[in-house]
Amino acid sequence: MFGLLLKHPIIFKALLTEAQSTRGMMQKCLKYDKNIFLSVLSVRTFLTRSIRLFDGLVQPASFLKPSKLPQSLVVRHQQISKLTLDVNTNVRNNVILYKNENDRYFRNIRIFAIGQLFGWSVLALYTYTPDFLDIFTTDIKLKEFLKKHLFRLPTFVFSIFAGPVTFGFMYATCARNVKYIILNKGGKTLSLSTYHLWKRKSDIINLPIGMARCTSHRTDVGVCIPLKIKNRFFYYLIDKKGTFVNPSLFDHTTG
């Protein structure tokens, strides 16, 4: 076959020319494919960088690992902390921190408490009879005794407990609801005023700042803010419907 091609140079030249043209076409195709490949690679690199940049700015929320706070929120928190630290409590005069002027409501509670105590006491007085002592002085059986006093005895027992319990609950509600919180001159002590039934017990004067602390912040969810005073049982209640006259001083002294 190779000898035949050498004997006929025209055929060999034609084949060589065709091979060269085929090679040129292949080079063009490879060059074109290379340009396409480079273009696709450039687009892929751009999209990858964009996705990475977007992922760095917006991170998906996770229940197991909390996402980082945005820089603006961090700066804002630092500013609020700085303002809280910069609060000057050395006031020249007495300053009202909080007030809840709701005298009518608590006056009605006082009237209701006294009315309940009086009403149940009268009912207990009229239902009482000396025959209730027969269970201790005679040989009457318990079944016969309960049958004899089927209505009067339960009413008497219920009246004895209902009046004092209702009055005690209303008394505690008024005694533990804060009316005023005042920062005294100099900023070292506080004065509290409550809706106590007895006026002489409604004020707590010259209480050191460190002895009164709220167990929750005033912006938290809830109707009242519990206020704990050292060396005193139970909590005092600060109604959120009241007015925080000086919120920054309130947060710094009792928050």
Instruction: Write down the domain spans for the chain.
Output: 2-50, 95-102+177-253, 105-174
Band of pLDDT at residue 107, cut at 50, 70 and 90: very high
Instruction: Please indicate, yes or no, whether the overall pTM of this predicted structure exceeds 0.75.
Output: no
What would you measure as the largest C-alpha separation in the chain, in angstroms?
Answer: 154
User: What pLDDT, on the 0 to 100 scale, is given for residue 57?
Assistant: 40
Supply the pLDDT for residue 219. 87
Give SS3 for 127: helix
Please provide residue 113's backbone torsions phi and psi, each rounded to the nearest 5 degrees: -65, -45
pLDDT digits (tens, 9 = 90+) for 179-196: 999 999 888 889 999 999
The tens digit of pLDDT for each residue in 153-179 reads: 899 999 999 999 999 999 999 999 999
Please write the tens of the pLDDT for every residue from 188-232.
Answer: 889 999 999 888 888 888 888 888 899 888 888 888 999 999 888
- Name the residue with higher pLDDT: 35 or 137: 137
Q: Is the pLDDT of residue 116 over 90?
A: yes
pLDDT at 160: 93
Dist CA 238 CA 214 (whole Å) = 9
Long-range contact pairs involving 40-46 (C-beta distance under 8 Å, separation at least 24)? none
